[in-house]
């Protein structure tokens, strides 16, 4: 049986249109046609959600459109996630990461993608979700004896909480127990250095590479 090849452009359009059914269907069709989940995400769905961000900034889209697009993006990701994770190469865990979106911030699409890619690359990921209180990151990391705490932030108003978490670890005498990995659209390598984080990932793949380096396994591709 031949499968229709869905286009990356159609995937982007489904997200822009906030069409949840189409996004999920196109993701499924892509998998059936043996397109790589990662390519569909990076070249189809992400450009779609970025365009939505531009439309919002230009005043073309309002919150309901933004939410419908986010739902469409999530529907596609739900279909693609098992394929991403089944590409896990390693049987042994490279390290344990407590991951979450920082306090005050409910954006979780990028964080989920980072979590899936870390799992797919052999990390043991404990995903605390979004809007995670600073104290909870610390409690969970201590309880899980985590190697790395991964902090996502999508708002200029919440990225400061990444700094606060590091300050809190220092105040509690726990800073040396964990490596801190930060990321999210408003953050940067310079920001990571400024707040004393140990690693920065510009995107999900870079986050995996940074996490490898943090656990002393940066040598592997």
CB 99 within 8 A of CB 115: yes
Q: Crossing angle, helix 46-57 and helix 63-85, to 10 degrees?
A: 160
Position 193 contacts ligand B1M (CB under 6 A)? no
CB 137 within 8 A of CB 144: no
Is the Cβ of residue 95 or residue 183 nearer to ligand B1M in the bound state?
183
Position 128 contacts ligand B1M (CB under 6 A)? no
Position 165 contacts ligand B1M (CB under 6 A)? no
Binding pattern to ligand B1M, positions 54-93, x when CB under 6 A? --xx-----x--xx--x-----------------------
151 phi and psi, to 5 degrees? Answer: -120, 120
Give the shortest CB-210-to-ligand B1M separation in angstroms: 7
Dihedral sign for Cα 190, 193, 195, 201, please.
Answer: positive
Paired with 102 in beta bridges are 132
User: Applying CB under 6 A, which of residues 83, 94, 181, 195 lies at the interface with ligand B1M?
Assistant: 181
Rounded Cα gap, residues 138 and 178, in angstroms: 10
Q: Using CB under 6 A, list all residues that contact ligand B1M.
A: 46, 49-50, 52-53, 56-57, 63, 66-67, 70, 104-111, 113-114, 150-152, 154-157, 181-186, 201, 203-204, 207
């Amino acid at each position: 049986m031949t499968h229709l090849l869905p286009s990356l452009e159609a995937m982007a359009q489904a997200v822009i249109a906030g069409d949840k059914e189409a996004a999920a269907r196109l993701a499924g069709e892509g998998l059936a046609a043996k397109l790589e989940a990662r390519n569909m995400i990076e070249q189809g769905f992400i450009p779609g959600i970025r365009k939505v961000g531009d439309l919002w900034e230009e005043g073309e889209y309002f919150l309901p459109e933004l939410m419908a697009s986010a739902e469409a993006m999530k529907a596609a990701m739900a279909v693609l996630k098992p394929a991403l994770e089944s590409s896990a190469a390693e049987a042994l865990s490279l390290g344990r990461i407590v991951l979450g979106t920082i306090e005050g911030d409910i954006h979780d699409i990028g964080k989920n993608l980072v979590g899936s890619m870390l799992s797919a690359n052999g990390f043991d990921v404990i995903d605390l979700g979004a809007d995670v209180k600073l104290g909870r990151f610390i409690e969970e990391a201590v309880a899980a004896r985590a190697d790395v705490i991964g902090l996502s932030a999508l708002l200029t108003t919440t990225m400061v909480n990444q700094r606060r978490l590091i300050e809190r670890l220092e105040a509690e005498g726990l800073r040396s127990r964990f490596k801190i990995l930060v990321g999210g659209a408003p953050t940067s390598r310079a920001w990571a250095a400024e707040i004393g984080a140990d690693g920065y990932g510009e995107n999900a793949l870079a986050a995996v590479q940074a996490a490898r380096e943090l656990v002393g396994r940066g040598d592997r591709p």
